[in-house]
Amino acid sequence: MYLRSLVILSMVLLAVAFGSLTWFLLVPAEPRPVPVASTAEVPALAPRARVLVAARALAAGSLLRDEDFVARELPPEAASLAPVPATAESRNDVRGALLRRYLDSGAVLERDDVLRARDRGFLASVLRPGMRAISVGVDLVTGTAGLIWPGDHVDLILTQELQPGDAPLGRRVIGETVLADARVVAVDQQLTQGAGAEGAPSRVARTITLEVRAEQAERVAVASRLGRIALTVRSSETPEAEAASPARSIFGADVSQALSASSHTQGARMQVIQGDERVEVTFR
């Protein structure tokens, strides 16, 4: 009896164990939760300001050029209160402007740092003590194809042609330098000639304003009435001997061999006046 009960109990335990094992193998385990990335928005980075900074140390009173500045990206907190943005429009706006204060290399250019040519008081500020400002008219040729900029130093050449009765053929056309080493303080860019690289109209100077002494202003005014004015740009490093050398007149015969030969062939001329009659005599 005892043995029978023990056998039955053992069979029951084996059945329970077998059932548990079968349930463990057949019933799928619950899936583990997959971690989900947070959907919270990441704060966007503040945009960096692209502004103009000095390419090198710039002295107060300088007339600004394109090469004086480079574009640089700065974080908003590092930019000044009113920086000049590095755009084509802003570059055009400050080109030729007067710098009010000294800028170290890498310093940010602010709007209040410049006085533009169209601003009130520009000429009075840019002129040195005792100097005057006078403007001359130029075209595409006489204005060096629009490549003259504020801050350049130029010579002013007068070309005039005398009447046939006033001079022999070889000396009728005269060219002479009437003004040397004058500083350009302003350029009026209003005359449109063709289109630029980006499709925008390119503009060629029509008037150029020079810084001169009082007596030089008188010479320029007279020269403008006598004939055609042309400007030549001087090198930034002009030898002292060249600057001190006196200018001389150049005649047509000095340039053209044909006119020179014609002048030697014609010989000297003289006008003989008898009463109301004038006779030109040529000595050969």
Q: How far apart are CA 56 and CA 105, in angstroms?
A: 4
pLDDT of amino acid 251: 78
pLDDT of amino acid 119: 84
pLDDT of amino acid 196: 41
Q: How far apart are CA 271 and CA 269, in angstroms?
A: 7
Rg (CA), the chain: 43
Q: Which residues on adjacent β-strands are paired with residue 270?
A: 281
Q: How far apart are CA 123 and CA 142, in angstroms?
A: 23
For 65-100, letters b (16+ CB in 10 Å) and e give beebbeebeeeeeebbeebbebeeebbeebbbbbbe
Q: Each residue's pLDDT tens digit in the chain (284 positions)? A: 556 666 566 676 666 666 665 655 555 556 666 666 555 565 555 567 788 999 999 998 888 988 999 999 887 666 667 888 888 888 888 888 899 999 999 998 988 899 887 888 888 888 989 999 999 988 766 555 567 888 899 999 999 988 877 777 777 888 999 999 999 998 875 433 333 444 444 555 578 999 999 999 999 999 999 999 999 889 877 665 555 555 678 877 777 777 766 665 555 566 667 666 766 655 55
Question: Which amino acid does the sequence have at 141?
Answer: V
Q: Helices (H), strands (E): how many in the chain?
A: 7, 14
Using alpha carbons, list the distances in angstroms from residue 157 to 149, 178, 215: 18, 6, 17
Closest listed residue to residue 152, CA positions, set 250, 67, 244:
67
* Structural contact between residues 144 and 231, judged by C-beta atoms closer than 8 angstroms: yes
CA 26 to chain centre: 83
